[in-house]
Structure 1
Amino acid sequence: MVQYRSEVRDGMRVDWDVPIRMDDGVILRADVFRPVEDGRYPVIMSHGPYAKGLAFQEGFPHMWKPLTADHPEVLSGSSNRYQNWETADPERWVPDSYVCVRVDSRGAGRSPGRLDIFSPRETRDYYECVEWAGTRPWSNGRVGLLGISYYAVNQWQVAALRPPHLAAICPWEGASDYYREFTHHGGLLNIFSSVWYPAQVTSVQHGVGARGPVNPNTGEPVAGPETLPDEELAAGRADVAAELRSHPHDDEYYRQRSAELEKITVPVLSATNWAHHLHTRGGFEGYTRAASDHKWLEVHGLGHVTEFYTGHGLALQKRFFGHFLKGEETGWDRQPPVELNVRHVDGSFELRPEQEWPLARTQWTRLYLDTRSGALTERPPSGDTAGDTADDTADDTSADFEALGDGLTFVTEPFADEVEITGPAAARLFISSTTADTDLFLTLRVLDPDGGDVTFVSALDPAGVVGMGWLRASHRAVDPERSLPYRPWHPHDHAEPLTPGETVPLDIEIWPTSVVVPPGHRLAVTVQGRDFEFPGDGPWPGSYGVAMRGHGMFLHTDPGDRPADVYGGTTTLVSGPDRPSYLLLPFIPRTAPSPAATRRGPFPDGRR
C-alpha cells in the first residue's frame, strides 16, 4: 500500500497520497497543500481523472506554451512546480490561508478501482471526498469546488447531491448535460470523447505505472504505483466509445451522468466561454436552472483555460470564495448577477455588468432565409409574385443542396450602424430530404466589408465560428413544457424517420453567443449537412490528430453514426409565407457603455 508522506516545501505543508476511504472500502488518494501553521482553513477541492501528479507543462505542453507566451502573468507569484491541468495552483491559494485538495478519482492516477467517467459511483465518491475534507482537523468545515472542464462538470453533479460540508462551487467551463453537450449535438454523435478519452484519461489510468509520466515533485509514477498489463487495464475501465454507440438516444445512461441542476442550492459562480462546443451551453443552463438563492454568471472568450489562470479569473475566484468560505469583505456582495465579456471583431472584449440572463432588453428579431436571393432579411417571404393561388404552399420557394457539400449561405445587407448580438438563439427551418434522415448544421458567421470571415479564438481552435446549432431531423420532436422560444428542448428519446420528399419543420437550438458587428460588416448563416469548414488550404492547427477548421475537435464524422447512404442525400430548404424559415436572434440595443463597462484587449495586460 502507498504510504502517506508529509513535508514542508515552498512555504506549504504538502501531504502526498493521503488515503480517503470510500463507503465501499476503496481507497482514493489525495494531495493536500496547506499552510505550515496549524489552524482551521477553508478548502478548495478538485476531483478527477487527469492524474494529480501530472505537471501541466509535461502533460499538456501544447496548451502550456501558448498560455504562458501570450499571457506571461500566469507565471507570476508561483514557482509553477505544482501546476496541474485545469485545477487551482496551490501556490496562489495556500498563502491566502486556503487548503488545496486534489483527488485522483476512482481508477485514475494513484487511486485504484474501476474507471467509469461521470458515473453515479464516481459522483458518490466526490460526495465522500467533500465530507472527508470538511471534517479534517485543518478544515474550517467549508469546502469549495474549483476547476475547469471535467473538474467543472462533476461540480454540477456532486452539488446536486448536497453534501453537508459543501459551501460553494465555481464550475469553470463545464458541461451539465452528458448527452446534449458532452457527447451529442442535436442528436449527432460528437467524436470528441473517442479522441479525448484515450489521450487524456486512459493514458493515466491507475496501473499505467512505470509506463507513464512521473511526478516531478515526488519521483513517483503519476498513474501508479502498480504497473498492470494492458488486458487488465482494459478490463478495469468503461469502454466509452462503445457505450456511446450503443446508446444513440438520451436514456438512463446519460441521465445518470448529467447533473440534476434544480437540486443545487449552494452558492454558484458559473463561468463559461462564448465558443466552446463542449462547455458553453452547460454554463448557461447551470446558471439559469440551479435552485441556488445565490448564483452568478461570468462569460468570457479566448482560449479554453486562459481566463481561469489570468488575473481576471483569479481575482474573480478569490472574491467569490473569500466571501463564502471565509466570510471576508471582498466586495462580492456588490457583484452583479451577470458579468459579460462582450466580443468585438478586433479581438477585444467589453466587460459589462448585467442583471439577468437572457438580457431583459433583448430585441428578439427574426431574420428570414430568402431561398430565391440568398438574402438574410427582416422581411418575411412574400410568396408567389405571379398572382394568387388556391394552394398556400404553392407560394413557397425552395433551394436544394447536397447534404455533404458546401450547403447554402444567406447574408444580410451591410449594417449601417454598429449591431450587437448577445444571447441564446434559435432557428425554424422547413426541410425535406431524398433519404429517411438528414443532419442540419447551422453556422453563424460575420463577414468583413470585403466578404472575408471574421474569426474568433474558439476555446481550442484559434480561428473559430461565431455561433453554432445542430439537429438531426429524426430527433425533431420537442418538449413544449421545457422549450423556450429561444431554446427549443428536444427529448432525443426516439427517432422519427423522414418520408423522402415530405417537408417538415425543424426547431434548432443555437448555443449562446456574443458579437458586436461594426458598420459595413454583414451577418451570415450557412446551412449544411456536415461540419462547417473555413475555406482555404491551411495548414490548419491540429489536436490529437484532428485538423481544426472552425470547430476545434468537436466534429461529427463517425461513419457509424452518419452512414453516407442516409446522411449523404439531397436536402431541400423551403421558405414562404406559410412555411417561413428564419433565425431568431438576440439583438441588444447599443448604448454608451455604463461606467462599469471597460474594453479589454485579447491580452489582459492590454497588448493587442
Structure 2
Amino acid sequence: MVARKPVAVDPSLDLAQSEDPMARMGQGFCPAFNQRVYECAPGILCEQDVAVKMRDGVTIYCDIYRPKDENKTYPAIVSWSWFGKRPGEGMSEWQIMGVPPHTVSKFAKFESPDPMYWVYQGYIVANVDVRGAGHSEGNVHMFTHQDREDGYDFVEWLAVQHYCNGNVGMAGNSGVAMHQWGIAAMQPPHLRCIAPWECTTDLYRESFYEGGVPALSFNKFISAQVTGTGGVDSQVDMAVKYPLINGYWEDKRPDFSKVTCAVYQTAGFSHFHLRGSMQAFRKAKTKLKWLRAHRDFEWPDTYQPENLEDLKRFYDRYLKDIHNGWEMTPHVRLDIMDAYDCDYQVRRPENEFPLKRTEYKRYYFDASDPKNLTMRDAPVSVESCVAYDGNTEQVEFDMTFEEDTELTGYMYLHLYVAAESYNDMDMFINIQKADENGNWLPWYTLNEPHPGAWGKCRISHRELDPKECQKVKGLMIQPVMAHKRELKVQPGEIVPVDIEIVPSARIWHKGQKLRVQIAGRYIREGWFEPLAWDTDNHGRQIIYTGGQYESFIQVPVIPPKYKAGDYVYR
C-alpha cells in the first residue's frame, strides 16, 4: 500500500480541538521538512531533521534533543517507530488519552519519552522517522528484518556522535515498544538496555489472527496512520494472501534468545499487548530483565511520575553506570486486581512469572441444568450440552469460591464443541468475576469496564504447536495453536479445542463467583479503539460437558505466602 503523503497543514487548523481522539494525539501528522538547530527550551538544543544513512544508502531523518552544555557527553534514548516524530507541532496542546493536558510536552513523539523530562535528567532523546516514514526515504517495513537492520545502524551511528557517551538505550510503549525487541536481538554493540513498555511480539497470533480469528479492519485502521513518501508493508493485504503462518509472519517475530542487554518490560492486563509482553519477558535470554504488570492503560502508566522515576533508576544504572541499587528491584512486580479501580495488591514482589508456587486446578463444566450452568472441582459424570446462536447469544458458566482465592498466571479452556450446521465457528472467551448475587464485577481501565482476561478460537485452527506450547513439570499451562493448516469440521461434528487465555492476576473473595463467558462474537461497549474481528459463524454453537466430554478450565491458584489462623499474607 502507499503511505499517506505529507501535506502542508492549514495553520488555522488546531488538531487539539478535533473530535477524533486519534487526531488529537497527532496520528498521521507530518510537519514540513525543516533542518535547523535551535534552543527549544532553556538549556535544550534540538537538531531537527538530521540525516542518517543506512547501510544500503537510504537516508532517514531524526530529531535530536540534547543538553546545550557541550563540555560533556551524554547517554542517548531512542524512540524508533513510524509514528511521526513531531506530532504536537502546531497544536495548542498535545493531548494523550488518559493523561492530563500539559503533562507531556509537544516535543514528545507518540508513545515515547518526553525530551522535556529526559534531557533535563542528563540524557539525549532521538526521535526517529524510520525508513519510509515522514520525510525518510524508502518504504515502511513493518517489524521486519529490514527494520531491525536499520535500527542497528542507527544505534551505532548515534553512539559515535560527539555529544554521546557511547551508551544507547531504547524506550517507548505499544507500537514504539514493538520495534525494540527485534533491534535488541541484532545485538548492536552500543545498545545497553531497552524499555519496551507493553508490546505485541507475535503479530500473527496476537494481532492479525488471534486464536485464528482475523482482525483485519482494526489493523487497516492502524496502517492508515502511516504518513510517508513511499510505500508501506501492507500487512492487511498480506494477511488476506497468507492466512496461515509462513515465512512472512515468522520474519516479524523477534528472536528473544539473542537478546542479551538489560530489559525493563511492562505488561498491562487490560490491553492487547499483554500476551506479547509476557512472552518476551519469559523467553528473553538476558538475566538482566525486570517485569512490572499492572491494570492501568499504557498511556497514563507511561507518564506516571513514580513510573518515570523508576525508569530513570533503570537508565541511570545501565546508561550512566550509576550504582543506585537497581539490581535490588524485584524481577517481577504484579498488581493483583480486585474490582473496579481497586487493586488488592500493588507491585507485589515476585521472583518469576508464572509463579513457582502456583497450584494448577481444573474446574469441570456442567451443562446439565440449562438454567444454572456451572463448574465443579471434580469431573462430571452426566453428559449434557448447551447451545447458543453464534452471532447473537452467549452462555456463562459460574462457580462460587468457598474461600478467598487468587488466580495469577495462565489459564486455558479444554472444550468439546460443535458447529450445528456449518463447517467452522469462532469462540470468544472472557474470564470474569461476579458477586454473591451473580452481578458482574469488572475491573476498570480508563474508567471503562473491562470484559476480563480473554481468549479466542476459530476451531479450524485448533491444531496445537508442541514446540510453542508451554508446560510446567509436564503439565500444559499455555496451549499455542500452530496455524499451519485449516481443519474444517462436518456440521454437528464434536471436536476438542484448547483455548489459550491471556495471563492475569486477580483475587476472588469468599462467596464471589468465577464466571466463564463464551460467545461467538466480541462483547464490549464504549471503548474508543475500533476493535473488531471478522467472524465466520452460521447457526448455533454447541458446548458438550460431562462423561466422555470432559470440558474444563485450568486455573493458576496462588496459595498465600503465609497463613496463621485467620491471618493471611499474600
TM-score bracket relative to the smaller structure = 0.7 to 0.9
Alignment partner, residue 377 of structure 2: 379
Tell me which of 366, 375, 388 is aligned to 1:370. 366
In 2, distance between residues paired with 1:92 and 1:584? Answer: 45
One-letter amino acid of the structure 2 residue matched with residue 150 of structure 1: G
1:445 positional shift: 1.1
Tell me which of 465, 468, 482 is aligned to 2:454. 468
Alignment partner, residue 12 of structure 1: 44
Alignment partner, residue 187 of structure 2: 162
Tell me which of 423, 445, 452 is aligned to 1:436. 423
In 2, distance between residues paired with 1:67 and 1:145? Answer: 22
Tell me which of 399, 406, 409 is aligned to 2:393. 406
Change in 2 beyond 3 A, CA 1:500/1:524: same
1:98 positional shift: 0.9
Alignment partner, residue 311 of structure 2: 317
Alignment partner, residue 25 of structure 1: 57
1:57 positional shift: 9.8
In 1, distance between residues paired with 2:108 and 2:232? Answer: 27
Q: What's the CA shift string for 1:421-461, capped at 9, x where partnerless?
A: 11111110011223111112111111123432222234x78
**After the TM superposition, which residues 137-216 of structure 1 pair with which residues of structure 2 at under 5 Å, given as runs?**
137-190=162-215, 191-198=217-224, 200-201=225-226, 205-207=227-229
Alignment partner, residue 494 of structure 1: 485
In 1, distance between residues paired with 2:47 and 2:543? Answer: 62
Structure 1 alignment gaps of length 5 or more: 208-232, 385-395, 535-539, 547-552, 600-608
Alignment partner, residue 226 of structure 1: none
Tell me which of 270, 274, 285 is aligned to 1:280. 274
In 2, distance between residues paired with 1:591 and 1:57? Answer: 54
Tell me which of 85, 93, 96 is aligned to 2:121. 96
One-letter amino acid of the structure 2 residue matched with residue 118 of structure 1: F
| Partners of 2:385 and 2:545 within 8 A in 1 | yes
Alignment partner, residue 507 of structure 1: 498
| Partners of 1:429 and 1:580 within 8 A in 2 | yes
| Partners of 1:46 and 1:103 within 8 A in 2 | yes
Q: Paired residues, what number?
A: 522
| Partners of 1:419 and 1:590 within 8 A in 2 | no
Alignment partner, residue 446 of structure 1: 433
Asked whether 1:246 is paired with 2:241, we answer yes
In 1, distance between residues paired with 2:211 and 2:380? Answer: 31
Change in 2 beyond 3 A, CA 1:429/1:57: farther
1:526 positional shift: 1.1
Q: TM-score by structure 1 length?
A: 0.81
1:192 positional shift: 2.1
One-letter amino acid of the structure 2 residue matched with residue 323 of structure 1: R
Q: What's the CA shift string for 1:213-233, capped at 9, x where partnerless?
A: xxxxxxxxxxxxxxxxxxxx6
In 2, distance between residues paired with 1:60 and 1:256? Answer: 38
1:59 positional shift: 11
Q: TM-score by structure 2 length?
A: 0.87
In 2, distance between residues paired with 1:409 and 1:85? Answer: 39
Change in 2 beyond 3 A, CA 1:188/1:598: same
In 2, distance between residues paired with 1:502 and 1:177? Answer: 31
Change in 2 beyond 3 A, CA 1:189/1:141: same
Q: What's the CA shift string for 1:28-69, capped at 9, x where partnerless?
A: 1111111111222111001111110111995996x6254116
| Partners of 1:35 and 1:99 within 8 A in 2 | yes
SS of structure 2 residue aligned to 1:364: strand
Change in 2 beyond 3 A, CA 1:29/1:598: farther
Change in 2 beyond 3 A, CA 1:492/1:163: same
SS of structure 1 residue aligned to 2:146: helix
Tell me which of 36, 52, 67 is aligned to 2:68. 36
Change in 2 beyond 3 A, CA 1:541/1:496: closer
In 2, distance between residues paired with 1:525 and 1:368? Answer: 11
1:517 positional shift: 2.1
In 2, distance between residues paired with 1:66 and 1:533? Answer: 19
In 2, distance between residues paired with 1:57 and 1:456? Answer: 37
| Partners of 2:451 and 2:524 within 8 A in 1 | no
Q: What's the CA shift string for 1:267-302, capped at 9, x where partnerless?
A: 11111101212x000111001101112111111121
One-letter amino acid of the structure 2 residue matched with residue 296 of structure 1: W
Superposition RMSD in Å: 2.4
Tell me which of 44, 47, 51 is aligned to 2:80. 47
One-letter amino acid of the structure 2 residue matched with residue 442 of structure 1: I
| Partners of 2:245 and 2:484 within 8 A in 1 | yes
Alignment partner, residue 335 of structure 2: 341
Change in 2 beyond 3 A, CA 1:260/1:376: farther
Structure 1 residue ranges, 4+ long, deviating more than 6 angstroms after superposition: none
Tell me which of 67, 82, 88 is aligned to 2:99. 67
Alignment partner, residue 530 of structure 1: 521
| Partners of 2:408 and 2:558 within 8 A in 1 | yes
Q: What's the CA shift string for 1:338-392, capped at 9, x where partnerless?
A: 01122121413322000111011112111111111344333334324xxxxxxxx
Q: What's the CA shift string for 1:537-585, capped at 9, x where partnerless?
A: xxx3444xx3xxxxxx2x21x3xxx34xxx2232221112332111111
1:521 positional shift: 2.2
Tell me which of 109, 117, 137 is aligned to 2:142. 117
One-letter amino acid of the structure 1 residue matched with residue 203 of structure 2: Y
Asked whether 1:517 is paired with 2:487, we answer no
In 2, distance between residues paired with 1:490 and 1:59? Answer: 48
One-letter amino acid of the structure 2 residue matched with residue 508 of structure 1: I
Alignment partner, residue 574 of structure 1: 544
SS of structure 1 residue aligned to 2:83: coil
1:170 positional shift: 0.8
Q: Which moved more, 1:105-114 or 1:247-256?
A: 105-114
Alignment partner, residue 219 of structure 1: none
In 1, distance between residues paired with 2:489 and 2:92? Answer: 46
Alignment partner, residue 292 of structure 1: 286
| Partners of 1:56 and 1:64 within 8 A in 2 | no
Change in 2 beyond 3 A, CA 1:454/1:320: same
Change in 2 beyond 3 A, CA 1:404/1:272: same
Change in 2 beyond 3 A, CA 1:167/1:450: same
In terms of fraction of residues, the more strand-rich structure is: 2
In 2, distance between residues paired with 1:3 and 1:517? Answer: 56
1:598 positional shift: 12
Alignment partner, residue 360 of structure 1: 356
In 1, distance between residues paired with 2:443 and 2:450? Answer: 5
| Partners of 1:352 and 1:598 within 8 A in 2 | no
Asked whether 1:481 is paired with 2:467, we answer yes
SS of structure 2 residue aligned to 1:437: coil
In 2, distance between residues paired with 1:522 and 1:246? Answer: 43
Change in 2 beyond 3 A, CA 1:486/1:43: same
SS of structure 1 residue aligned to 2:397: strand
One-letter amino acid of the structure 2 residue matched with residue 140 of structure 1: N
Change in 2 beyond 3 A, CA 1:53/1:533: closer
